[in-house]
């Protein structure tokens, strides 16, 4: 038996590759990635998509290891230990042949060369995000102009997920680069900056006001809307990017604080608890936006979302017992007791559910159904008296029944009854006029809702024989 030499953190490639040979079923790409993790003080089994346990490591011959292992469940990976080293590895003499050692050493240089090349490409890319290092940090961040700074590590999976979103954010505010900076720090390479600002995990995003070196930590969602809203709130600058401005979302983002002000009040609230990494949540997202647009004109209905993994929403998620994503709950007005939603995740199913719970009359696409604006108790009176052609009685009874009703269209019933009592052709003529307006198009959404509601009411004032003709 031969004993392999001790390899420190800076010279551990050979030991790494020897350990990897215990997993011959991996592809070269997986071995490369695992090598990078190992070199950073973290080992991850790519095949089983988990970070290795102490027992797994011992099976590779590693007898000492940092206690701060990287787990897959938290939103941040811990900073690798700076004092990583391997105990002597013991291998059968038959393994440590000159050919084996030569092959491993050659692979080491190839891997390091490939990583250096990739790093060079990344640096050379045209990015709107400002790269910060110790020599330029203060002159960029503390020179009077506010800055949003992401502290990341190249090996961090959550950082890689955030990267395209953060780039899009920077492009959204690139036109205002003289007023605000969107920047990033490779805190693994520039550890002095990570230590200076107490970075414990990745990614960490901090807001600098441009004057103080005591930043405010950003704890909101890691989606473009949340980050954009934060920068706009801090600076008053609105993004100009076509992507960032393509739609003003009608989905209301809730957190620990805002949830208490919205839920339990005078509005019905449908909430989706989501996580940035959840595939089903990403599938739901466009439907949720469409649903919010459908109910945008309903002042008493809120379509909301909670990023359950954001720092400022974790207490709320725990209180609501969220264990899976997406979880959808309905909170009736005046109540904090939730009704769990377990139906289909289609626009049609959601619209039907809200109409039943909130008493609304929305249709798929945001329009109104044929009951919108109508009042059942008045419909009964109208139908009975119009059929009997008792128009004078119609006016009296409608006025009496409409008195005190909170519905805004109760008064329209009275107006229509009075007009009809003076002109029997009024309802048909007015309904025809409104339908022409609808056919012409171009009406504002609020006006369109009003026309549809009045049309539905007038239908009740038209006799069945004439209604069929229309």
Q: Is 86 a catalytic residue?
A: no
* 196 or 90, higher pLDDT: 196
Parallel/antiparallel/unpaired status of strands 201-202 and 77-78: antiparallel
Q: Are 169 and 223 in contact (CB under 8 A)?
A: no
Q: Average the pLDDT over 241-247 and give the result.
A: 51
Enter the tokens of residue 51.
């970070």
Task: Look at residue 134 and tell me whether its pLDDT is greater than 60.
Answer: yes
Q: Average the pLDDT over 384-407 and give the result.
A: 90
Give the pLDDT band of residue 107 (cuts 50, 70, 90): low
Residue 460's CB is within 10 A of a number of other CB atoms, namely 19
At 302-350, the pLDDT tens digits run 999 999 988 889 999 999 999 999 999 999 999 999 999 999 999 999 9
Q: Are 178 and 145 in contact (CB under 8 A)?
A: yes
The pLDDT of residue 389 is: 84
Cβ burial of 109 (10 Å; 0-12, 13-18, 19+) is exposed
At 414-434, the pLDDT tens digits run 999 999 999 989 999 999 999
The pLDDT of residue 109 is: 46
Q: Is 156 a catalytic residue?
A: yes
Q: Average the pLDDT over 441-450 and give the result.
A: 88
Q: Which of 60, 70, 86, 159 is catalytic?
A: 159
Q: Which residues contact 399 (CB under 8 A, 6 or more apart)?
A: 414, 417
The domain segmentation of the chain, as residue ranges, is: 2-121, 130-245, 252-358, 376-469
Helix ranges restricted to H, 295-423: 314-319, 347-358, 376-387, 391-402, 410-422
The pLDDT of residue 404 is: 85
Q: Average the pLDDT over 85-112 and give the result.
A: 46
Give the pLDDT band of residue 180 (cuts 50, 70, 90): very high
Q: Which of 19, 60, 86, 281 is catalytic?
A: 281
The pLDDT of residue 424 is: 87
The pLDDT of residue 438 is: 86
Q: Are 286 and 259 in contact (CB under 8 A)?
A: no
Check the CA dihedral 458-461-466-468 and report its sign.
positive
Q: Average the pLDDT over 150-166 and give the result.
A: 93
The pLDDT of residue 83 is: 35
The pLDDT of residue 459 is: 92
The pLDDT of residue 9 is: 35
Q: Average the pLDDT over 147-169 and give the result.
A: 93
Task: Look at residue 298 and tell me whether its pLDDT is greater than 60.
Answer: yes
Task: Look at residue 299 and tell me whether its pLDDT is greater than 80.
Answer: yes
Helix ranges restricted to H, 50-182: 54-59, 98-124, 137-141, 157-172
The pLDDT of residue 283 is: 93
The CATH code for residues 252-358 is 3.40.30.10
HEC secondary structure over 229-245: HHHHHHHCCCCCCHHHH
Q: Average the pLDDT over 370-377 and give the result.
A: 94
Task: Look at residue 292 and tell me whether its pLDDT is greater than 60.
Answer: yes
Q: Which residues contact 75 (CB under 8 A, 6 or more apart)?
A: 158, 309
Q: Do domains 130-245 and 252-358 have the same CATH topology?
A: yes
Q: Is 281 a catalytic residue?
A: yes
Three-state secondary structure call for residue 305? strand
Give the pLDDT band of residue 406 (cuts 50, 70, 90): confident
Least confident of 13-22, 168-177, 202-211, 318-327: 13-22
Helix or strand holding residue 454 (H, E): helix 445-461
The pLDDT of residue 317 is: 93
At 41-53, the pLDDT tens digits run 444 443 333 444 4
Q: Which residues contact 146 (CB under 8 A, 6 or more apart)?
A: 179, 180, 181, 207, 208, 209, 210, 234, 235
Q: Cis check for the bond before 15: say yes or no (omega within 30 of 0).
A: no
Q: What is the homologous superfamily of the domain 376-469 according to CATH?
A: Endoplasmic reticulum resident protein 29, C-terminal domain (1.20.1150.12)
The CATH code for residues 130-245 is 3.40.30.10
Task: Look at residue 34 and tell me whether its pLDDT is greater than 70.
Answer: no
Specify which residues 446 forms β-bridges with.
none
Q: Which of 19, 60, 86, 156 is catalytic?
A: 156
Task: Look at residue 19 and tell me whether its pLDDT is greater than 90.
Answer: no
Q: Is 60 a catalytic residue?
A: no
């Amino acid at each position: 038996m031969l004993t392999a030499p001790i390899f420190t953190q800076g010279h551990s490639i050979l030991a790494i590759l020897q350990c990897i040979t215990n997993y011959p079923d991996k592809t070269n790409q997986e071995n490369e990635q695992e090598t990078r993790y190992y070199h950073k003080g973290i080992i991850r089994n790519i095949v089983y998509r988990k970070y290795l346990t102490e027992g797994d490591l011992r099976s590779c011959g590693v007898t000492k290891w940092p206690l701060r292992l990287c787990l897959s469940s938290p939103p941040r990976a811990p900073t690798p230990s700076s004092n990583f080293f391997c105990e002597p590895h013991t291998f059968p003499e038959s393994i440590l042949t000159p050919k084996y050692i030569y092959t491993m050493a050659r692979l080491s240089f190839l891997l390091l060369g490939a990583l250096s090349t990739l790093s060079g490409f990344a640096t050379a890319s045209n990015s709107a995000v400002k790269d910060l290092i110790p020599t330029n940090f203060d002159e960029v961040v503390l020179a009077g102009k506010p800055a949003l700074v992401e502290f990341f590590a190249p090996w961090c999976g959550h950082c890689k997920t955030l990267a395209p979103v953060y780039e899009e954010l920077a492009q959204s505010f690139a036109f205002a680069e003289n007023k605000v900076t969107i920047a990033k720090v490779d805190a693994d390479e520039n550890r002095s900056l990570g230590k200076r600002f107490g970075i414990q995990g990745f990614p960490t995003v901090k807001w600098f006001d441009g004057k103080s070196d005591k930043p405010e930590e950003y704890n909101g969602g890691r989606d473009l809307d949340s980050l954009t809203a934060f920068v706009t709130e801090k600076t008053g600058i609105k993004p100009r990017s076509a992507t960032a401005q393509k739609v003003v979302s009608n989905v209301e983002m809730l957190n620990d604080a805002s949830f208490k002000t919205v839920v339990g009040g005078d509005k019905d609230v449908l909430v989706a608890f989501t996580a940035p990494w959840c595939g089903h949540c990403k599938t739901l997202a466009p439907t949720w936006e469409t649903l919010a647009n459908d109910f945008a004109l309903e002042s008493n209905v809120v379509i909301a979302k909670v990023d359950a993994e954001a720092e400022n929403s974790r207490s709320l998620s725990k209180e609501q017992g969220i264990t899976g994503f997406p979880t959808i709950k309905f909170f009736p007005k005046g109540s904090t007791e939730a009704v769990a939603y377990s139906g289909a995740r289609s626009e049609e199913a959601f619209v039907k559910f809200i109409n039943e719970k909130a008493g609304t009359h929305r249709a798929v696409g945001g329009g109104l159904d044929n009951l919108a604006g109508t009042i059942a108790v008045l419909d009964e009176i109208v139908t009975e008296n119009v059929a009997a052609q008792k128009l004078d009685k119609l006016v009296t009874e409608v006025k009496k029944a409409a008195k005190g009703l909170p519905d805004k269209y109760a008064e329209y019933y009275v107006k229509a009854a009075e007009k009809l009592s003076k002109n029997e052709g009024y309802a048909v003529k007015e309904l025809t006029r409104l339908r022409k307006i609808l056919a012409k198009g171009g009406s504002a959404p609020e006006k369109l809702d009003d026309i549809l509601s009045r049309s539905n009411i007038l239908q009740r004032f038209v006799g069945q024989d004439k209604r069929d003709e229309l």
